[in-house]
Structure 1
Amino acid sequence: MGSPLASWPWASLGSYKYLLYGPMVAKVAHAWRETGSLPLDSWCLHLLILLALRSLTFQLWFSYGNMLFFTRRRRVVKDGVDFRQIDAEWDWDNMVILQTLVAGMVTNSPAFPGVAELRAWAPLGWALALLLHVTVSEPCFYWAHRALHRAPLFGLYHAKHHASPVTQPLTAGFGTPLEALILTLAMGAPLAGAFAAGGGSVSLVYGHVLLFDCLRCMGYSNVEVISHKAFAAFPALRYLIYTPTYLSLHHREKDCNFCLFMPLYDALAGTINARSWELQKEVDQGANDRVPDFVFLAHVVDVVSSMHVPFAFRSCSSLPFATHLVLIPLWPVAFAFMLVQWFCSKTFTVSFYFLRGRLHQTWSVPRYGFQVTTTLPGYLQIVHSILYLLSSSWYFIPSAKKGINRQIELAILRADKMGVKVISLAALNKNEALNGGGTLFVSKHPNLRVRVVHGNTLTAAVILNEIPSNVKEVFLTGATSKLGRAIALYLCRKKIRVLMLTLSTERFLKIQRESPAEFQHCLVQVTKYQAAQSCKTWIVGKWLSPREQRWAPPGTHFHQFVVPPIIGFRRDCTYGKLAAMRLPKDVQGLGSCEYTMERGVVHACHAGGVVHCLEGWEHHEVGAIDVDRIDVVWKAALKHGLTPP
């Protein structure tokens, strides 16, 4: 049997733990049905509203702390949050559930006044709550916290909380029931004192609880919020309000900085870390700012997947993308932002750059001292449509072409100015019709120090290495595209017959003439899907409808490099996923999945940019794929620990 208050009693319920709110919801619903209106005099209703506001507070602070395009220069710990920490903190909201249930029991007791009996505002109550917080909650929490750091309490109750190497607002709620009860008492004591003295008010309950959560989230945000200049101008302020640096030192060194919000008691007891304020100044001045070696300029696919970014919902982004019901109510907001982005791509492109296309996610490969950053070109990227064709169509609107390229160009120039070594372009950002696979930018700026990479050489290598060695014939759609051309030329050199689906004889002949004369007969132009009805290896570079897929014989395997992936309509056939590579095992700070890819797997074009940087290649990889480099890039990827998933 475990130690008391060391584990949550509803741990086995999983997501069903939210049914614990059922009695409160039922009580509100019953009162609503009886009176015909919301029961504003019911504490249950106010506790549920407060629950929603508290959850929103944690979420907003989490989003802010992870918007690296806003906060990168002021981060206390530079490392990213990995999957291990995310999984450990998955049930961070247990603390909020416990406090809501405790509040529900207290407010439903006969001794507690009803909402109708309370004033909306009572200055005396606010003053009493502040006094009690400073004189009761702060010192009591300090000594309780110090006690948790002594054996055996630390190992039983507090060690898991300290196992999170990078503090996050959600880390503030992560802990054991004992820790949650201590925080509940620290939060509730000032309220209880104010109500006992007759100074209770509805605004005090809302204000005190939300302010308590805000201060907790600020300390755990890993981003300096208060300027060091404020502490220099008012030295006493450093003992009245803590900083994320102060809290981070406690998490890293453990036996210092024990206070809740006020370092005063650490100073009085001699447990304050002497470096707290100097480090805070250094962080606030950007001492932890680090230029990434590699930037991946990404985009998302549709409205729902736009909410899959790491600074939105960690529980979603840390798993392969899927449409979650919780995201559906936010769809109208995302759709509205999509319309804004369409408009901005054609008008305010320069002024919006400072809000768009900035740093989003960072991870590193320690053995190389190598840092990777993912960048999203779009205002918070909550701006896409319900279907890929709708969301991505702005890339193909003629009037938007100039604005989109301007956005990508500005991102490249900013990376060049910062000292980034390689910037890689995701699928639509390197579209051939848009900018010639990145050629436009290299031609316009011949003196770029940053290498521009489309990564398609590795994409082609992944697809080609998926094809069994005994295959003698393949059917290729999207045959005259950048990837299709490279795949066709590579396979014909292996004496594999390639049925190239294209209506353009001119483009086909151009590709055929690129192959050695002795292999040109292996490239065959076809104009209809019927020509492939006896070929069981299809390489798909153009989206296939169910009608088109029916021409494939039973047992066909569809390899694909089309975005979005084709839908598997045929049960008697198999469907490959988009080309991808698994990152090395020693990657650190990776805490989100790339679209539908599983953890630790990225699209091949992303991995291609990583390999380009690790190898230190000095050429730009833009425009047509160099077929002679496909095997070179593949071997380099394997050498650096990247593997096919």
Structure 2
Amino acid sequence: MAHYVLYGAVVWKVAEEWRQQGAAPVGSWWLHLLLLFAARGLTYQFWFSYGNMLFFTRRRRVVPDSVDFRQVDAEWDWDNFLLLQTLIGATLVGSPAVARQQLLLPSLKQAWDPRGWAIALLLHVLVAEPLFYWAHRALHRAPLFSRYHAAHHHASVTTPLTAGFGTPLESLLLTVVIGVPLAGAFLMGVGSVGLVYGHVLLFDFLRSMGYSNVEVISPRVFQAVPLLRYLIYTPTYLSLHHREKDSNFCLFMPIFDLLGGTLNHKSWELQKEVYLGKNDQAPDFVFLAHVVDIMASMHVPFVLRSCSSTPFANHFVLLPFWPVAFGFMLLMWCCSKTFLVSSYRLRGNLHQMWTVPRYGFQYFIPAAKKGINEQIELAILRADRMGVKVLSLAALNKNEALNGGGTLFVNKHPELRVRVVHGNTLTAAVILNEIPSNVKDVFLTGATSKLGRAIALYLCRKKIRVLMLTLSSERFLKIQREAPAEFQQYLVQVTKYQPAQNCKQLPLQIDDVQHAAYGVLQLQALWSMHPCDVIYCDANAHICLPLTES
């Protein structure tokens, strides 16, 4: 944010003209520079938000992978090129030579001149497009690529913000490309305010669309007008360039790739597949969360990247939007359903986070309990139809008072194929995964707790003798009766620590396990259980393993 201080001189000029005129200086190019900068930033933000609304765009994403934190860090100052181009524009506006020639003043008197648009279009096609094409091809050759362009290709998943990420040389090249049509129109005396806004914003719109990673043009359009595929590119077209780097170099018009022999012939068939959703796949794991509060709701990935990348912090810039977020909360309460928020890949598996459209405080309203459970149930049934392997209930979605930690849905739908679990379940799974395979005896403290019960029942089925430390015979017998008859003999009650004197404690802390469990790193350890098992656990259990393991 500190680099916006460079706009201080432009803001001061606008303020000075405002003071002199006693009103907003609508005829000032300084004011138009600031307004154009804001409009350009909103254009990129619009496409960024749209591309990250996975509940709208999931099926038409070109590359289904998500953006990782390295890419977020690398593209943090993506708007540097906007700053550079605005300052170059300010330099031209304040240039004595431009003022003497009065090249810009006539354009303020006329908001629209079709002659200027015609000249700008002609110069874009005949000068700007081929200039960008050949310069882009040159940047892909050694040594220019490694020095100036490799950073732009740092990630295969493009976003509208990737369009602005590059070296100063690339930003200057874009400035020339976008400026040639405008310069030609103004030099011929047919420039206008409307041309500046229209040309620049259309340039940014098309560039953001190409980098959005979401197909928006129906293949039927290209089938109806085949020539159009050589006049406008698509997100798939650009994505192929970013991944393969040896084709599709054009700015917006693929005809120059056709003429230059660099057209990737997979572009249109792949574009059709992506648009029709053939690139989509069901997730392996779903984390079913809910909204924490109104401020947290503004940290979702499709609002502002600078805020969503720091979800633990409240940003003052969001306070003016609190009433808007409150309105969306009421809207979701009335007519929304569970939706996809984010996705990522881990060890080859597709993981997604779905959100129940309810906020934390609503879980403590008795009248809202039924509606929340209906939302969770619908999400579980939807995941089951999609073929999801594991669905984890997060936070208050697994509240005992709400649905018994998920047993309400498991008991109601015993035919479920999806494994309904929660963070405590994964805690047990990680602990079980850490126990060596050759262990024959386990000494278990906190044995009748939720976590102890789950571990004891699982281990006895593996024919591992479990010494359960508890003074309550009633609670021990209750757990023992839950085990199959042929495995009940492996559950043994002990009332003192002496049987564990030759044991060593498992080198695993429960707090660490819970963090790892939520990361789903040991999810496979759980998948061997019955599809409808729901395990309860807490942090009071400890495991001791015998020093002598046979």
| Coarse TM-score class (shorter-chain normalised) | 0.7 to 0.9
**Hey, what's the Cα distance between the residues in 1 that align with 2:288 and 2:311?**
19
Q: Is the 8 A contact 1:457 1:608 kept in 2?
A: no
Once residues 608 and 153 of structure 1 are traced to their aligned partners in structure 2, the CA distance between those partners, rounded to angstroms, is 42
- The structure whose Rg is larger is 2
SS of aligned partner of 2:405: coil
Which amino acid is 2:279 matched to?
N
2:421 aligns with 453
Q: CA deviation at 1:46?
A: 1.6
Partner of residue 581, structure 1: 515
Alpha-carbon distance in 1 for matches of 2:469, 2:23: 77
Q: 3-state DSSP class of the match of 1:291?
A: coil
CA distance in 1, matches of 2:539, 2:104: 78
Is residue 407 of structure 2 the alignment partner of residue 439 of structure 1?
Answer: yes
Name the counterpart of 1:166: 157
Deviation at 1:610, TM superposition (A): 6.1
One-letter amino acid of the structure 1 residue matched with residue 301 of structure 2: P
Report the counterpart of residue 19 of structure 2 in structure 1: 33
Q: Does residue 122 of structure 2 align to residue 131 of structure 1? A: yes
Structure 2, unaligned runs of 5 or more: 432-445, 456-466, 480-491, 497-508, 545-550
Q: 1:115 touches 1:202 (CA, 8 Å); kept in 2?
A: no
Choose the corresponding residue for 1:359, options 307, 332, 340: 340
The match for 1:374 is 353
1:273 CA drift (Å)? 0.9
Aligned-partner Cα distance in 2 for 1:192–1:433: 68
Q: In structure 1, the residue corresponding to 2:345 is in which secondary structure?
A: strand
Superposition deviation, residue 223 in structure 1? 1.1
Structure-to-structure mapping, 1:11-26, within 5 angstroms: 15-26=1-12
> C-alpha distance in 1, partners of 2:449/2:339?
30
Query: In structure 1, what is the Cα distance between the partners aligned to 2:235 and 2:288?
Result: 30
Cα pair distance change 1:616/1:333, threshold 3 Å? farther
Deviation at 1:32, TM superposition (A): 2.6
Q: Amino acid of the residue matched to residue 137 of structure 1? A: A
Find the counterpart in structure 2 of residue 622 from structure 1. 534
Aligned residue number for residue 487 of structure 2:
none
User: How far 1:627 sits from its partner (Å)?
Assistant: 9.8
Aligned to 2:500: none
Matched ranges for 1:212-227 at <5 A:
212-227=203-218
Contact 1:436 1:623 in 2 (8 A): no
1:519 is displaced (CA, Å) by 5.2
Say which SS state the counterpart of residue 437 (structure 1) adopts: helix
Residues 481 and 202 of structure 1: is their aligned pair in 2 closer, same or farther, counting only changes over 3 Å? farther
1:332 to 323, 332, 335: 323
More helix by share: 2
Q: Distance in 1 between matches of 2:478 and 2:105?
A: 84
Cα displacement (A) at 1:624:
4.3
1:60 has 2:46 as partner: yes
> How far apart, in 2, do the equivalents of 1:269 and 1:51 lie?
34
List per-residue Cα deviations over 1:487-512 (Å, max 9, x = no partner). Answer: 9xxxxx98799xxxxxxxxxx99979
What's the offset of the Cα at 1:69? Answer: 1.5
How high is the sequence identity, in percent, across the aligned residues? 62
Contact kept, 8 Å, 1:438 with 1:623, in 2: the verdict is no
Which letter maps to 1:291? A
Tell me whether 1:426 sits opposite 2:420 in the alignment: no
Cα displacement (A) at 1:296:
0.5
**Pairwise CA distance, 1:314:** 2.2
In 1, Cα distance between the equivalents of 2:74 and 2:401? Answer: 45
Matched, 1:121 2:112: yes
Give distance in 2, aligned partners of 1:131 and 1:630.
76
- Residues 253 and 496 of structure 1: CA distance in aligned 2, closer, same or farther (over 3 Å): same
Q: 2:261 — aligned with what?
A: 270
- Between the aligned partners of 1:95 and 1:42, the Cα distance in structure 2 is 23
Paired amino acid for 2:352: T
Q: Matched residue of 2:145: which SS?
A: helix
Letter in 2 for 1:375: W
Shift of 1:141: 0.9
Instruction: After TM superposition, give the deviation of residue 260 of structure 1 in Å.
Output: 0.2
Q: Does 1:404 align with 2:372?
A: yes
8 Å CA contact 1:422–1:613 kept in 2: the answer is no
Report the residue type matching 1:194 in the other structure.
A
2:188 paired with 1:197: yes
TM-score, normalised with respect to structure 2: 0.81
Determine helix, strand or coil for the equivalent of 1:64: helix
- The 3 A distance-change label for structure 1 pair 108 and 142 is same
Following the alignment from structure 1 to structure 2, what is the Cα–Cα distance between the partners of residues 627 and 44?
62
TM-superposition CA deviations, 1:284-329 (whole Å, max 9, x none):
2222111110010112322222222222222333345211223223
Deviations 1:390-423 (A, max 9, x none): x422122222222222221121111111111111
Other-structure match for 2:482: none
Aligned residue pairs: how many? 493
1:417 aligns with 2:329: no
- The structure-2 alpha-carbon separation of the partners of 1:154 and 1:436, relative to structure 1 and needing over 3 Å to count, comes to same
Can you give the 5+ residue segments of structure 1 that lack an aligned partner in the other structure? 1-14, 379-383, 385-390, 464-475, 488-492, 498-507, 521-558, 561-576, 583-603, 633-645
Structure 2 contact 454–535 (Cα < 8 Å) conserved: no
Do the aligned residues in 1 keep the contact of 2:451 with 2:541 (CA within 8 Å)?
no
| Separation in structure 1 between the aligned mates of residue 69 and residue 292 of structure 2, nearest angstrom | 23
* Structure 1 residues 446 and 626: CA distance shift in structure 2, 3 A: farther
Between 280-289 and 391-400, the greater mean CA deviation after superposition: 391-400
Q: Cα–Cα, structure 1 residues 34 and 618, in superposed 2: closer, same or farther, change >3 Å?
A: farther
Change (3 A) 1:266 1:461: closer
TM-score when normalising by structure 1: 0.69
